[in-house]
Structure 1
Amino acid sequence: MVREREEGGGMRLEELRKEIDAIDDRLLELLNERIRVVQKVGELKHKTGGAIYRPEREKAIIERLLRKNGGPLTEAAIEAIFLEIFAVARNFEQPQRVAYLGPEGSFTHQAAENRFGAMSEYIPLHSIPAVFKAVHADRARFAVVPIENNTNGFVGETLDELAKTDLKIVAELYMPIHHSFVTKAEHLQRIKRIYSKDIAFNQCRNFLLEHELDTIEYIPVESTAKAARLAAEDHESAAICSHIAAKLYQVPVMFENIEDNHRNQTRFIILSDFENAPSGADKTSILAKLSDRPGSLYEFLRSFHEAHVNLKKIESRPAAENTGFDYWFYIDFEGHREEPHIQKLFEKHRDEIKYLGSYVQNG
């Protein structure tokens, strides 16, 4: 029990600090005990070939803890703490190498760290095909790429790579996209140019107009992370970039959250070479390769309606050359491939479906 100070009834700071130290000591002991058990699990997985990253298991742990929680920790706080614990534990089972669409400081980098923590090894790559290739070539265990943004739609290059790959989607992550206006200039009037990715200029148009920054030079670059690096070197410039990029390149933030749509978010997918077990709250992604004839899409989708499968997303994409198809359809729906009614759908359309993965549904 925390003892009260006799004078005034207040709690003494030194006693509270000692109590925190004692709690930290217990936490350290328990965390080490948890890691020792994790190492035993890792040994069993190495013998049986089991996957190290099990999103459905992590989801079940967090949901159980949320049910037990009596506060004051919030749901978001519990998830943040335990996702980092899970990431550290996975690295004790097996070092994690994660390829992502770079450069360092990009929003994809931020998404990757959100799921794989500070201890994992990260490999920034210049293109989405390069990220897929890194996992195929065993240079990385996981790939993290964007697949869609709620403002700008699907990332066509990701859909094209999904059509070619044998990798499976093992997890998804929806992340709010907030842009910062960063500069080493002391005043807005001293800024002569702004660096950013072309899409970021469009997403922050109202801010630029409101601050009369629409008449100066806009310089599009490959990424918002590169924009921050250039602004760090050019004291008469600014950058529109992520907060993580501003911190990485030590450029002061003048304005936060300057995007027009404050609900702007990007969906990222994590890919690897294994498949998830059912969690009870799954999403499955497929590519449907349908013949070019009247009614083919209707007939295909009617099968899902008859099986009472809830479709979450459908997006058409021109097929790659020499495939025999004019369009492919990317489709998300509720359920796991191992569920009997989903298996029947796959069997019925086995010549039309390319399976991309079943994974815990987050969005």
Structure 2
Amino acid sequence: MSDTPVNLDALRERIDEIDTRILELISERARCAQRVAQVKTADDPQAVFYRPEREAQVLRRIMALNPGPLDAEEMARLFREIMSACLALEQPVKVAYLGPEGTFTQQAALKHFGESAVSLPMAAIDEVFREVEAGAVNYGVVPVENSTEGVVNHTLDSFMDSSLHICGEVVLRIHHHLLIAGTTRQDKISRIYSHPQSFAQCRKWLDAHYPQAERVPVSSNAEAARLVKSEWHSAAIAGDMAAKLYELERVAEKIEDRPDNSTRFLIIGHQDVPMCGTDKTSLVVAMRNQPGALHDLLEPFHRHQIDMTRLETRPSRSGVWNYVFFIDFKGHVDQPEVAALLDEVRLRAAEMKVLGSYPQGVL
């Protein structure tokens, strides 16, 4: 027993020594980032500072080298924040996202770019596209698909008329909570606010626990959380950021029907992204309205052994009962086998547009 204080003091001294070394190394990294900015600016005043492929390579390397005991994703998240802070010294990244503040899309933006990014809420998906197209922000973050409820059609439709590229992706595990305000009478809850997709993702739980409560759809979960602050008989379904922002209490946690409920978000911008080694490519293809059109589109993927990860159809704006196909597959346009595939698809299609090649989501 007498040795315990001495050992504890020694361990604390050791931690202090390690913290000092960490501080010195982070500061050295930050100074190096500043020098990188100086070199880039000297060569090109319009230089791009954020490099999605470089960040993906760094994070994957850290995860591969991680010896523990922290798990690889936790270690990568720590490095993401260091990289975000260092990048802000070079040039702060401005990111538009589907708002308002406190949405899952903001959470995805901060997960991808780190807390040092400047995030700006937009009222609609097409507004995110317009802000990026106008150059008011560097990048945008928009939802594209949910593992329970499927694709976000508004995002797919926005790509049809846009010149923007997909620069990255981020997948966010979605956890919904039932939230109330300090003035809410929990035994009198008769109204629940949330986004329509959240209601769909929590349908079974709501049927079991609040079958009589009115379900009021609103534009976002953050808006649902805001409304609850002023009502004594209502609750909201929302996530961690909205709960913290509006200081709400969790009545029930993780009420989504599927524990693996996730949403995929796309990073949109102007730049073409070089290969990082673990890439995806997204296309939009319009086929001629003739028998076997879908087979003609898919056959080259099989023959070239290209792994298609998603295929969605949307009505074409060029005519009734015509459709366009949105396709995701593994690989990068600069790979010879992918270039050969795209040449074939381009010959068979009425129209084809590459939306972007980008790193597969790391975190």
Tell me the TM-score normalized by structure 1.
0.92
Q: Give the 3-state SS of the residue equivalent to 1:98 in structure 2.
A: strand
Q: CA deviation at 1:56?
A: 2.2
Q: Structure 2 residue aligned with 1:142, among 139, 143, 146? A: 139
Match for residue 2 of structure 2? 7
1:349 aligns with 2:345: yes
Q: Please, which of 280, 285, 288 is the counterpart of residue 285 of structure 2?
A: 288
Displacement of 1:266 in angstroms is 0.4
Q: 1:44 aligns with which of 31, 39, 43?
A: 39
Question: Aligned ranges for residues 77-96 of structure 1 at < 5 Å?
Answer: 77-96=74-93
**Contact 2:184–2:233, Cα closer than 8 Å, also in 1:** no
2:191 is aligned to 193
Q: 2:295 aligns with which of 298, 304, 326?
A: 298
Deviation at 1:188, TM superposition (A): 3.1
Q: Give, in whole Å, the separation in 1 of the partners of 2:204 and 2:24.
A: 52
- Higher mean C-alpha displacement, 246-255 vs 19-28: 19-28
Partner of residue 203 from structure 1, selected from 178, 181, 201: 201
Counterpart contact for 2:284–2:324, Cα < 8 Å: yes
2: CA distance between counterparts of 1:138 and 1:112? 18
Letter in 1 for 2:106: H
CA distance in 1, matches of 2:207, 2:293: 47
Q: Is the partner of 2:229 in helix, strand or coil?
A: helix
Q: Give the counterpart of 2:325 among 329, 340, 347.
A: 329
**3-state SS of paired residue (2:38):** helix
1:280-317 C-alpha deviation (Å, 9 max, x unpaired): 21110000111111112211211222222111111111
Cα distance change on mapping 1:249 and 1:337 into 2, 3 Å: same
1:240 paired residue among 237, 240, 262: 237
The equivalent residue for 2:24 is 29
8 Å Cα contact 2:186-2:233 kept in structure 1? no
Match of 1:17 among 12, 16, 19: 12
- For the residues of structure 2 that align with 1:144 and 1:225, how far apart are their CA atoms? 17
Assess, with a 3 A threshold, how the Cα gap between structure 1 residues 218 and 64 changes in structure 2: closer, same or farther: closer
Tell me the TM-score normalised to structure 2 length.
Answer: 0.92
Q: Which amino acid aligns with 1:265?
A: S
User: Corresponding residue for 2:68?
Assistant: 71
Is the contact made by 1:289 and 1:325 (CA closer than 8 Å) also made in structure 2?
A: no
Measure, in 2, the Cα distance between the counterparts of 1:272 and 1:210. Answer: 43
Please state how far the C-alpha of 1:50 moved relative to its aligned partner: 4.8
1:83-232 pair list within 5 angstroms? 83-184=80-181, 188-211=186-209, 213-232=210-229
Tell me the SS of whatever aligns to 1:227.
helix
Cα shift at 1:13: 4.0
Secondary structure of 1:233's counterpart equals coil
Distance 1:100-1:173 versus aligned 2 partners, 3 A rule: same
CA distance, structure 1, for counterparts of residue 126 and residue 49 of structure 2:
24
SS at match of 2:324: strand
Deviation per CA, 1:215-256: give whole Å up to 9, x if none.
122222111101111112223211111111010000111111
Which residue in 2 is equivalent to 1:362?
361
What amino acid is the match of 2:176?
H
The Cα of 1:53 is off from its aligned counterpart by 2.2
Q: State the number of aligned residues.
A: 356
2: distance between equivalents of 1:296 and 1:205?
A: 38
Map residues 307-322 of structure 1 onto 2, 5 A cutoff. Answer: 307-320=304-317, 322=318
d(CA) in 2 for partners of 1:11 and 1:71? 27
Check conservation: 1:141, 1:272, Cα contact below 8 A.
yes
SS at match of 1:349: helix
Structure 2 unaligned spans of 5+: none
Unaligned runs of 5+ residues in structure 1 are: 1-5
Matched-pair contact (CA < 8 Å) for 2:300–2:345: no
CA distance, structure 2, for counterparts of residue 304 and residue 222 of structure 1? 39
Percent sequence identity over matched residues?
A: 40
